Chain A
Amino acid sequence: MIGNAPFFVVGLLFLAGLTAIFMEKNLIKIAIAIGIISSAVNLFLVALGYRAGGTVPIHFLAGKETLMVLPTPQAMTLTAIVISLATTAFLLSLIMLVYRHYGTLDVDEIRRLRG
């Protein structure tokens, strides 16, 4: 049961981010909540690869050990981090432009397109 602790943390973080998206009114806080969700998913991917007693998955650094943690989730996590970097950059610059045009960062006020 204690070995599943990372996955409980993932669930808690994900729920925290999701709740923040719905409860918060400020756009910057919503962007931070999306960052929290990304962190939760990255933690999930890295925790998937862990094997108890394993060592770094680099062949010449592992020494005498033969049990390694899985490297593929680590590659997936790196890719996901880079993607969320690009998307966070986009999101923040869009929020900046929204502030310049609308003058407010309140999510309930930014609704000229409706109906």
Chain B
Amino acid sequence: MFGTVYTGFGYWDVTAWIVFFAIAAGLTLWLRAQGRDDYKEGTDQDEIYWSGNVVPDDGAEISVPASSAYWGFRKAMAPFYKVLTGMHTGIATDIVGYYVLVVAFMAVFILL
């Protein structure tokens, strides 16, 4: 049941992966547990550092919104995204148009 999956070119073994992951996780946790003796939780050694400013109470003011998450990626591929979002107009008959175009393209090329 916990067998290995043999693809034609290699293999995948779940049990081996889980064992390695457990060993690596144990090692990591042990390393993290090595700490300094003078670290106390709950004092101001534990506070968020926000460049010296006062940390606001409401989390909404320090969270990064999702739309700014990949702005670099989007800006770098701006010409690509302009064409792609230009295709997704949202007009109902455009969807039908793309469908008919694909069927017509396939029909022409299969008859050649």
Contact = CB atoms under 8 A, between A and B. Distances in A.
Contact of B93 (A22, A114, A115): A22
A100 B97 CA distance: 26
Contacts of A107: 91-93
Interface residues of A, number: 12
B81 to A, nearest CB: 10
Contacts of A30: 92-93
Nearest to A25: B93
Contact of A113 (B90, B93, B96, B100): B90
A111 B85 CA distance: 13
B7 interface: no
Interface in A34-84: none
A110 interface: yes
A11 to B, nearest CB: 14
B89 interface: yes
Interface string B70-112: 0000000000000001001111110011001000000000000
A21 B90 contact: no
B90 A22 contact: no
B92 A115 contact: no
Given A18-B100, A21-B96, A115 B91 contact: no
A101 interface: no
6 contacts: A21-B93, A21-B96, A22-B93, A107-B92, A110-B91, A115-B88
Interface of B: 85, 88-93, 96-97, 100
Interface of A: 18, 21-22, 30, 107-108, 110-115
Given A21-B93, A111-B91, A115-B90, 4 more contacts: A22-B93, A22-B96, A30-B93, A113-B90
